[in-house]
Amino acid sequence: MKEGNILNCEPGRRKAACRGHQGEQRAAEFLMQSGLRILQRNFRCRRGEVDLVARDGDTLVFVEVRWRTGHRQGGAGESIDRHKRRRLVAAARFYLMRYPAEVPPCRFDAILLEGWAMELHWLKDIFWL
């Protein structure tokens, strides 16, 4: 682990959790600079989790953030497999129960961060409900 890569790491918190928080923070800042409004971070339910829920105009955007510092386990995008997609969809459906009258348009995006420099790639509409 390179010194200075973990920001705001609370005592007792795992390094992976701290790194995940740092990646999600970078993604949230990027999305806000791109005009999206962050509605919620780390939405969790029994069936899954969504890293970021945002609003892009009238569209609800469920965002998965993946950060890989190396390619031993494949790139960041390769880690979003069918099991992860299933959990994302389940969490999104649970989140959408907040909209009983009319569900807004939705999409799933991914923010992929590569390397220690956190090179960012924004993939829109990676799959659908």
The tens digit of pLDDT for each residue in 55-95 reads 999 999 999 998 877 666 556 666 678 898 999 999 999 99
Q: What is the pTM of this model?
A: 0.82
With a pLDDT cut of 70, the percent of the chain lying above it is 76
Residues 6+ apart with CB under 8 A from 35: 56
Instruction: Look at residues 33, 18, 25, 114 and name the one whose alpha carbon lies nearest to residue 66.
Output: 114
Task: Please indicate, yes or no, if residue 8 is contained in any of the structural domains.
Answer: no
Task: Please indicate, yes or no, if residue 68 is contained in any of the structural domains.
Answer: yes
Tally of structural domains, the chain: 1
Asked whether residue 111 carries a pLDDT value surpassing 90, the answer given is yes
* CATH code at position 115: 3.40.1350.10
Residues 6+ apart with CB under 8 A from 95: 40, 43, 45, 50, 53, 62
Q: What is the mean pLDDT of residues 27-45?
A: 97
Task: Please indicate, yes or no, if residue 110 is contained in any of the structural domains.
Answer: yes
Task: Please indicate, yes or no, if residue 74 is contained in any of the structural domains.
Answer: yes
Task: Please indicate, yes or no, if residue 10 is contained in any of the structural domains.
Answer: no
Domain hosting residue 64, numbered range: 15-127
